[in-house]
Chain A
Amino acid sequence: MLDPLLKLIKALNSETEPGQMSLALAFSMIAGFTPFFSVHNILILFLVLILRVNFSAYLAGLAMFSVLAFALDPWFHKLGHFVLTMDSLKGMWTTMYNTTLWRVENFSNTIVMGSLLVSLLLFIPVHLLGKWLINRYRDTVVVFISKTRAVKFLKATKIYSLYDRVSG
């Protein structure tokens, strides 16, 4: 449990591309918000694995968004119910409903629809916001911490140089 978190901290502090990390967070939001056993989550897993995104960030984000989803489920349901019962979209939903792939996707479930809609709408903002926050973190927090005496002292010790060599 702690291992992905430590890896995430390490990645945050490393030279890892911020875009890769924020994209992982955006993907994890989809997988975390929506019901886990959904067809689209297989696609998300596929994308997370094949795209060069930070897997630790994905796992940490998945845990975080899954916990968050418990609190947001009633809102997802309301949104999903609203969207699925809109008269103007009825024709589209009916067409999709009669398509096997979409039925397997279970789009007509209010929580699936609500959570998927929210996570898709927030995908780009989360990606961009994440990228910006990581950059800000590295520019301010990491720089500030690295300049503290305690860190300087720690880095000067043989133990740190030994750890740095071993961990690569």
Chain B
Amino acid sequence: MTKWIRWKGLIAFVLIVGLSAVFFIFYIDSLIKWSIEASGTRIVGAKVELGSAKFSFSPLGVQLRSLQVTNPDKPMENIVEISKIAFNMDSGNLLLRKVIIEEMTVDNVQLNTPRKKSGALKKKAEPAPAKKPDATAGGKKDEGFSLPGVELPNIDDIMAREKLKTPELAEQFKADTRKTKQEWDGISKQLPTQERMDSHKRRYDALRKVNTKDVKQVLAALEEAKSLKNDVNADIKAVKDAKNKVSEDVKRLKGQLKELKSSPKEEYNRLLNKYNLSEGGMGNISQLLFGDQAKQYTAIGLQWYKKLSPYLEKLTEEKEPEVVRQKGLDIRFPEKNPQPSFLIKTIHAGVTIPAGKFKGQILNISTEQDITRKPTTMKFSGDNMQHGMSLLLTGRFDHIKPSNPVDSLVFTMKNYKLDDHKLINSNDMRVTLKDARSDMEITAGRSKDQINANGKIHIHSIQYNNTAGGNTTAKLVLGAINQTRDFNIYGKLDGTLDNYSTKITSDLDERIKGNFKKQVNAEKEKYKQELKKRVDLAVKGSVDKAEKEFEDAKKSVEQDIDARKAKLEEQLASVQQRAQDYQNQSKAATQNKLKDKAKDSLKKLFGR
């Protein structure tokens, strides 16, 4: 029997086991560090680095320091950086290949921190870019921010291109005025001349020299006065006829002048109608402004959800295992005291973001909720953050029935300060929220394969730092945005994890559209004024000249006629008065004569 025993072998065994144990003790920290970095890198798809790992036997625990997880989409940025992670494990369960952590502390979690070196992985071969699901409703292609069309034609071009009718009308009017004036001149020549009126005066003066005591003379003067009166009346009628003719002409010409004067306005209206100042549709501004960002955040969120959700799910069916060396399938049997393979009962975490710190708890993280019968829940809150900011994040990931996972997440945040947040950065314009506050409320859920999310963000107390290029439309849009001091953004997501659609709406659309319309109207008004000024300038000289020519002609003929008429009417009045006097005197003389005759007859009769 002793022939088969090799006692030196016992020493060798003890040495091998002992050296292995020493190696394990000395290198366990490095092994943990390496395994976390390797598995983390595999899961994330970018470098996961750990400053140090420290393993302790009693109590059985691990302390990790300076964990950096690279953002796979931004290799110079860590998506998360954690100063310290510390936890103790249940050694008895560990022997049963179960990692049960009662309590884990995660200190100083920071998001989106810069990296000194790129965390990108060296790619073996450049794969063809996978077609990402279209995240916009209706599968519309994102064409970036495009300004709505607002056409304001160049006034110089219009004035050069368009023939104005007003100067032509003015020339026609002037010609008509001249022709009419010639007619008036002809009429004037037909009117009683000064000589004729002087002759009337001489005849009238002769009437005044009549001896009123001489009845014969009075009667003759009376006849002459009547004749003079008829002559003056005839002259006055001629003057009146002339005046009527002139009045008619003036009325006609005035009508034409009115038309001529209104012609610039008609010309201006015609040009406005022809060169219509159209404003293009503003479209869905919210989708343009925030659609990209929303898609990006949604894609990132779901990408991480998809990466992490397998760690909350138990395989619903026993799939064919990956049959490679050292692997296989662990068949499970009923346990007296069932425990999941992995469970963290409580995580206390403190997160630091630029706006301050918040902290919270995550409870019951396990791959086998059907065993723990408890969903993973979390609650994070921060109240006394900078600028009065507060936030609350609650979540519940119920995978107790692996075939029917139900997840929900509610995030509310108040007074989040936005500093120099770029909304638009295009060639035409740059819109930056220099200072603004936002209140946010997002709810998200998953039931089986269906996912949905609703969000509302109220951006308020906005101060802009905006610039626009020379483009008129850009200036108008910018003016509209500048007047918008608060707005709401609404987001909606529906679908499955691999095929979902997002829709972003906002009352910003209406507000900007309203303000944009005001801006466009103001600009239109300015444009109209300028066009009117230019049309007026182009036609005013000819219209004014035509008007002046008409007024001069009218004034001249009217003055002439009125003067003649006045003189004749004066003469008529005098002659009428003189004729009346002579008629009265003639009547009185006749009465006296009759009276004397009567006296004489009476004397003869009574013989005195």
Identify the A interface with B (CB < 8 A). Answer: 35-37, 42, 45-46, 48-52, 69-70, 73-74, 76-77, 80-81, 84-85, 90, 93-94, 97-98, 100, 103-104, 106, 108-112, 114
Contacts and interface: CB of A to CB of B under 8 A. Distances in A.
Contacts of B327: 111
Interface string B293-334: 000000000000000000000000000010111111111111
Given A45-B16, A77-B321, A108-B333, A51 B328 contact: no
B328 A49 contact: no
Interface in B324-350: 324-336
A110 B328 contact: yes
A94 B10 contact: no
Contacts of A81: 329, 331
Of B3, B4, B328, the most chain A CB neighbours within 10 A belong to B328
Q: Which A-B residue pairs are the 6 nearest by beta carbons?
A: A111-B328, A49-B9, A97-B333, A110-B328, A50-B9, A84-B331
B60 to A, nearest CB: 15
23 contacts: A35-B325, A35-B326, A37-B326, A46-B13, A48-B9, A49-B16, A50-B13, A51-B9, A52-B9, A73-B324, A76-B328, A84-B331, A90-B333, A93-B331, A97-B335, A100-B92, A100-B95, A100-B96, A104-B95, A106-B97, A108-B330, A110-B328, A111-B328
B5 A103 contact: no
A49 B12 contact: yes
Nearest to B335: A98
Nearest to B11: A49
A30 to B, nearest CB: 15
Contacts of A111: 323, 326-328
B92 to A, nearest CB: 8
A85 B332 CA distance: 10
Q: Which secondary structure dominates where chain A touches chain B? A: helix
Contacts of B323: 73-74, 77, 111
Contacts of A52: 3-6, 9
Nearest to B10: A50
A36 B328 contact: no
Contacts of A46: 13
B13 A45 contact: yes
A51 B4 contact: yes
B17 interface: yes
A48 B13 CA distance: 9
Contacts of A49: 6, 9-10, 12-13, 16
Q: Which secondary structure dominates where chain B touches chain A? A: loop
A14 to B, nearest CB: 17
Interface in B1-51: 3-7, 9-10, 12-13, 16-17
**How extensive is the interface on chain B, given as a class?**
20 to 34
A110 B333 contact: no
Interface in B55-105: 92, 95-97
Of B323, B330, B331, the most chain A CB neighbours within 10 A belong to B331
Nearest to A20: B4
A106 B4 CA distance: 31
Given A52-B3, A52-B9, A81-B331, 6 more contacts: A49-B16, A73-B324, A80-B328, A100-B96, A108-B330, A111-B327
A112 B325 CA distance: 10
Nearest to A110: B328
Nearest to A104: B95
A107 to B, nearest CB: 9
A81 B319 CA distance: 12
Contact of A109 (B3, B17, B329, B333): B329
Interface in B229-278: none
A103 B95 CA distance: 8
A45 B323 CA distance: 26
Contacts of A74: 323
Contact of B328 (A85, A93, A109): A109
A108 B328 CA distance: 10
A108 B13 CA distance: 28
A161 B13 CA distance: 36
Nearest to B318: A81
Nearest to A109: B328
A98 B321 CA distance: 24
Contacts of A112: 328
A51 B321 contact: no
A103 B92 CA distance: 11
Contacts of B335: 97-98
Contacts of A51: 4-6, 9
A94 B331 CA distance: 11
Contacts of A97: 332-335
A77 B329 CA distance: 8
A98 B336 contact: yes
Given A50-B13, A98-B336, A108-B333, A103 B96 contact: yes
Contacts of B325: 35, 69-70, 73
A52 B325 CA distance: 30
B129 to A, nearest CB: 35
Given A45-B16, A49-B6, A50-B10, A93 B333 contact: yes
A108 B331 contact: yes
B223 to A, nearest CB: 156
B318 to A, nearest CB: 9
B331 A85 contact: yes
Nearest to B12: A49
Nearest to A38: B326
Contact of A103 (B16, B97, B321, B331): B97
Nearest to A90: B333
A76 B324 CA distance: 11
Contacts of B329: 77, 81, 109-110
B334 A94 contact: yes
Contacts of A110: 321, 328-331
A50 B326 contact: no
Contacts of A109: 328-331
B4 A42 contact: no
Nearest to B3: A52
B333 to A, nearest CB: 4
A103 B321 CA distance: 20
A49 B333 CA distance: 35
Nearest to A93: B333
Contacts of B326: 35-37, 111
